[in-house]
């Protein structure tokens, strides 16, 4: 078991959405880092294991562009795309672009949490993925 807990990166231009996700995911026991734009995220991203919740429509780099940028850097970070304005072509495009999940805003918590857990399964070192059973997650350091 590694000391490193997986990180859920949240990239959304909408502060309210960012704060809500941060609050929820932390309550679910995840380590959360939020970014207001794609470029901010890309410049701060490191090689830690985790997944990214990425808004599709953002000023500056869109979610798809960030996704492309990640793949071009050979950064195998699972990506969950969320969009306030989604349609079938966008979902298809998202899947083709290699994202792990695609969710339409607003979404049910369970759908998001399931998507996150699925994404984090790739983190082999991570053995205590929060189950989301209503109890605060217990991190390795706690």
Partner 1 sequence: MSPRAVLRLSGLGITIALAYYAGAAVGFALKLPEATPSVMWPPNAILTSALLLTPTRLWPFALLAALPAHVALESGAGFPISLVLALFATNCTEALLAAGGLRFFSDDATRFDSFRRVGLFIAIAVLAAPFLSSFLDAMAVSLLRGEQYWQVWTARLFSNMLTALTVVPAVVTVVTSGWQWLRAAPRTRHGEAALLTMAMLVAAVFVLRRPASDAMTAELAEHAALAWMLPGLLWAAIRFGPGGSSLTLLVSSLVLTSAAVHSHGPFEGLSPSDTTLALQIFLTVVSVPLMVVAALIEERRLAQQDISKRLAVEALLARLSGAFVQLPSNRMHEVFDKSTREIGESLALESVMLFEYADTSEQLRRLAAWSARGDLEPGDPPIPDRFVESVAARLDRKPLAFHLPLTTARSEDAPGGSTLNSVLIPLIAENKIRGMLACTFDASLAQRGSAVLEELELVARVLANALSRRSAEDALRASEATKSAILSSLTYGVVVIDRRGDILNVNTRWHQMIGENAPAAATQVGANYLRFLADAARSGAIRAAKAAEGVAAVLDGTLDDFRQEYLVPHRDGERTMAMRAVPLDHPEGGAVVTYVDLTQQRRAELEAERARAELAHVSRVATLGALTASIAHQLNQPLTGILTNAQAARRFLAGSAPDLEEARLTLDDIMQDDRRASEVIVRMREFLRKDTGPIQNVDLHAVVREVARLVSSAAIIRNTELILNLDEAPAIVHGDRVQLQQVVLNLIVNALEAFGESRPSDRRIVVGSCCSRGDVVEIEVTDNGEGFKGLEESAFEAFYTTKPGGMGLGLSIARSIVEAHAGLIRAANKPDGGATVSFRVPLAPESAG
Part in contact with partner 1 (CB under 8 A); list of ranges 20-28, 41-49, 94-102, 122-130? 20-28
**Cα-based distances in Å from 111 to 80, 108, 129, 140:** 11, 5, 16, 25
Question: How would you class 68 by CB atoms within 10 Å of its CB: exposed for 0-12, middle for 13-18, buried for 19 or more?
Answer: middle
Select 38 or 123, whichever has its Cβ closest to partner 1: 38
10 binds partner 1 (CB under 8 A): no
108 binds partner 1 (CB under 8 A): yes
Of the candidates 22, 37, 29, 23, the residue with the CA atom closest to the CA atom of residue 6: 29
Nearest distance in Å: CB 84, partner 1: 3
Of the residues 3, 47, 74, 85, which one makes contact with partner 1 according to CB under 8 A: 85
Of the residues 21, 51, 80, 123, which one makes contact with partner 1 according to CB under 8 A: 21
91 binds partner 1 (CB under 8 A): no
Q: How far apart are CA 36 and CA 60, in angstroms?
A: 10
Q: Output b/e per residue, 94-123; b: 16+ Cβ within 10 A.
A: beebebbbbbbeeeeeeebbebbbebbeeb
Of the residues 2, 109, 114, 131, which one makes contact with partner 1 according to CB under 8 A: 109
106 binds partner 1 (CB under 8 A): yes
Sorted by sequence, the CB contacts under 8 Å of residue 15 that are 6+ apart come out as 36
Part in contact with partner 1 (CB under 8 A); list of ranges 22-30, 32-40, 91-99, 116-124? 22-30
Of the residues 45, 67, 81, 82, which one makes contact with partner 1 according to CB under 8 A: 82
């Amino acid at each position: 078991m590694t000391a490193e807990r997986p990180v859920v990166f949240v990239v959304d231009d909408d502060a309210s959405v960012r704060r809500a996700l941060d609050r929820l995911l932390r309550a679910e026991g995840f380590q959360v880092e939020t970014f207001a734009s794609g470029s901010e995220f890309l410049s701060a991203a490191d090689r830690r294991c985790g997944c990214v919740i990425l808004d599709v429509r953002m000023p500056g780099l869109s979610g798809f562009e960030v996704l492309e940028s990640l793949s071009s850097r050979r950064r195998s970070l699972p990506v969950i795309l969320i969009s306030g304005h989604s349609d079938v072509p966008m979902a298809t495009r998202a899947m083709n672009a290699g994202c792990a999940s695609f969710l339409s805003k607003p979404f049910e918590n369970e759908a998001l949490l399931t998507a996150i857990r699925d994404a984090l399964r790739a983190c082999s070192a991570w053995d205590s993925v929060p189950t989301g059973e209503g109890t605060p997650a217990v991190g390795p350091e706690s």
